Amino acid sequence: MASLIIGYPNEIIEIAGAISKSKDHASIFKPYYAVALIHEKEENQLQEVKELGLTKLYVLKTTDKTSTQQLAKAILDVASNQSYKYIFAKSTKMMKELISYVAQKLDMPLSPETNEIIVKDSKPVLTRSIMAGRVIMYQEIMDSAAILLASTKSEASKLDSVQTEIEELDTSKYQDGSIRILERKEKERSAVKLEDADIIVSVGRGFKSKDDLKLAFELADLLNAQVGCSRPIAADLKWLPEEHWVGLSGKKVRPKIYLAIGISGQPQHIAGINNAKTIIAINKDPNAPIFKYADYGVVADLYELIPKLIEKLKK
Ligand SMILES: Cc1cc2nc3c(=O)[nH]c(=O)nc-3n(C[C@H](O)[C@H](O)[C@H](O)COP(=O)(O)OP(=O)(O)OC[C@H]3O[C@@H](n4cnc5c(N)ncnc54)[C@H](O)[C@@H]3O)c2cc1C
């Protein structure tokens, strides 16, 4: 039984790293197939995927007007050629919609937000954070499964030594007219990529105004860090775009250092930072819940401490 990896080239490479960690993994998930989604504007990214050692690579060219339904139909077509025991994709908003549809049509159980795939007694076991990250659930796969992987930060690695057969699929063939995309408008995006950041300086409602966030940006610049935030900063106050939002309904991050400034540490925020190596909290309230999770805590007013920290770092 085979595995099918679905995603954009960078996602396929990341998943390949996560599912080929050991010989045991290979014995369970081999042979590997993939459907690579390639946007017409980014056609030159396939080389690395071709070198992974996939048995077969289906290339699905997309445009701004390709609908998720079209993609789902193409993937179901691929899945009708042979039976796949495991389907893998990254747990992004788009893949959640696409793979839920595909899994339902193939009558496969779906495991969303999977943190890790381990092998126990020659069986794949998935780990997932539940109850806002307070508990890790180990989930054994009894038969087949569609698995959505949260950010893994796995190193890219070769899957197999076979020569990859490539087939291009014509997306227009799968348009059935039920949904037609007229225009797609990109959301305003900042260059922030929290999932890959080694250091994150994260801001919460302890900041009194949008203008004050420049303190955090200055500190982040000095530390070569990215800026994250709690939900109210992005969703309610709209001081930062959504890409900065960390937590249960935001990004799950795994930096080496997570510096939480003026963040109280509610479970929904902690759910996004469970995998941070070191958490440092700055909060003026000694009873703030964040201190229960922090490796280092500073009880201080951020408006006094951060300028001093910036001054020191500049020196
Ligand atoms: C379904 C659901 C999903 C959610 N998902 C998320 C999510 O993904 N991410 C998320 O973050 N939240 C999420 N939330 C919201 C979450 O419950 C909290 O409301 C939110 O995390 C609080 O944000 P905060 O810590 O910035 O603000 P607050 O809770 O208001 O905390 C502000 C902190 O700043 C401190 N402070 C104030 N002034 C200063 C100062 N001068 N110096 C230092 N410290 C100071 C205060 O002591 C306080 O601890 C979700 C909620 C629900 C119901």
SS (H, E, C) the chain: CEEEEEECHHHHHHHHHHCCCCHHHHHHHCCEEEEEEEEHHHHHHCHHHHCCCCCEEEEEEECCCCCHHHHHHHHHHHHHHCCEEEEEEECCHHHHHHHHHHHHHCCCCEEEEEEEEEEECCEEEEEEEECCCCEEEEEECCCCEEEEECCCCCCCCCCCCCCCEEEEECHHHHCCCCCCCCCCCCCCCCCCCHHHCCEEEEECCCCCCCCCHHHHHHHHHHHCCEEEECHHHHHHCCCCCHHHEECCCCECCCCCEEEEECCCCCHHHHCCCCCCCEEEEEECCCCCCHHHHCCEEEECCHHHHHHHHHHHHHC
Q: Give the span between the Cα atoms of 269 and 288, in whole angstroms.
A: 13
Q: Do 163 and 199 fall into the same domain?
A: no
Same structural domain for residues 10 and 157? yes
Q: Does residue 150 share a domain with residue 229? A: no
Same domain, 10 and 64: yes
Does one domain contain both 128 and 75? yes
Predicted TM-score (pTM) of the model is: 0.73
**Residue with CA closest to ligand 1 atom 27:** 205
Look at 186 and 120; give whichever has higher pLDDT. 120
Q: Which atom of ligand 1 is nearest to the CA of 288?
A: 49
Higher-confidence residue of 259 and 153: namely 259
Answer yes or no: do 161 and 231 share one domain.
no
What pLDDT band is residue 152 in, cutting at 50, 70 and 90? low
25 lines ligand 1 (CB under 6 A): no
Residue 181 belongs to a domain: no
For residue 297, tell me if it sits in a domain.
Answer: yes
Pocket test for ligand 1, best of 237, 266, 301 (most atoms within 8 A of CB): 266
Q: Which of 69, 86, 81 is nearest to 18 (CA)?
A: 86
> Whose C-alpha lies nearest to ligand 1, atom 26?
204
56-62: strand order across its sheet? 135-140, 123-130, 110-120, 145-149, 84-90, 2-7, 32-39, 56-62, 165-169
Cα 260 to averaged position of ligand 1 atoms, centre (Å): 10
Mean pLDDT of the chain: 91
The verdict on residue 187 lying in a domain is no
Question: Same domain, yes or no, for 167 and 284?
Answer: no
What pLDDT, on the 0 to 100 scale, is given for residue 45? Answer: 73
Which CATH number characterizes residue 29's domain? 3.40.50.620
Residue type, 195: E
How confident is the model over 216-221, as a mean pLDDT?
Answer: 97
What CATH number is attached to the domain comprising 230?
3.40.50.1220
- Please tell me if the CB atom of residue 297 comes closer than 6 angstroms to any atom of ligand 1: no
Per-residue pLDDT, 241: 92
- Examine the pLDDT at 131 and tell me if it is beyond 90: no
Is residue 136 domain-shared with residue 272, that is, in the same domain?
A: no
Over range 42-59, report the average pLDDT.
88
* Ligand 1 near 270 CB (within 6 A): no
- Specify if 186 maps to a domain: no
Which atom of ligand 1 lies at the shortest distance from residue 282's CA?
43
Q: Considering the domain boundaries, does residue 183 fall inside one?
A: no
The ligand 1 atom nearest the CA atom of 247: 8
Tell whether 151 and 263 lie within a shared domain: no
Question: Which pLDDT belongs to residue 26?
Answer: 83
Name the residue at shortest CA distance from atom 23 of ligand 1: 230
- Residue 299 in domain: yes
| pLDDT for res 23 | 82
Does the beta carbon of 205 lie inside 6 Å of ligand 1? yes
Is 137 found in the same domain as 76?
yes
Measuring from atom 30 of ligand 1, which residue has the nearest CA? 205
Does ligand 1 come within 6 angstroms of the Cβ of 242?
A: no
- In angstroms, what is the span from residue 25 Cα to ligand 1's centroid? 39
Write down the pLDDT at residue 32. Answer: 95
pLDDT digits (tens, 9 = 90+) for 156-215: 678 888 889 999 998 888 887 788 888 888 766 667 789 889 999 999 999 999 999 999
Task: Give yes or no for residue 269 CB within 6 A of ligand 1.
Answer: yes
224's CB contacts (< 8 A; 6+ apart) are 198, 199
Ligand 1: nearest atom to the Cα of 302: 42
Q: What pLDDT does residue 153 have?
A: 64
Largest interatomic CA distance in the chain: 64
Question: What confidence score (pLDDT) does residue 308 get?
Answer: 97
Would 167 be classed as within a structural domain? yes
Q: Tell me, what's the pLDDT at 100?
A: 97
Cβ of 274 closer than 6 Å to ligand 1, yes or no, is no
The reply to whether 165 and 303 lie within a common domain is no
Domain containing 291: what range? 194-314
Is there a single domain that holds both residue 257 and residue 151? Answer: no
What values do phi and psi take at 98, rounded to 5?
-65, -50
User: Cβ-count burial of 241 within 10 angstroms (0-12 exposed, 13-18 middle, 19+ buried)?
Assistant: middle
Q: What is the pLDDT of residue 228?
A: 97
* The dihedral sign for the CA sequence 39, 45, 49, 55: positive
How many Cβ atoms are within 10 Å of 84's Cβ, its own excluded? 19
- State residue 196's pLDDT score: 87
Q: How many domains does the chain have?
A: 2
The per-residue pLDDT for 189 is 63
Is 179 within the bounds of a domain? no
- Ligand 1 atom with the shortest distance to the CA of 285: 47
Contact between 222 and 275 under an 8 Å Cβ cutoff? The reply is no
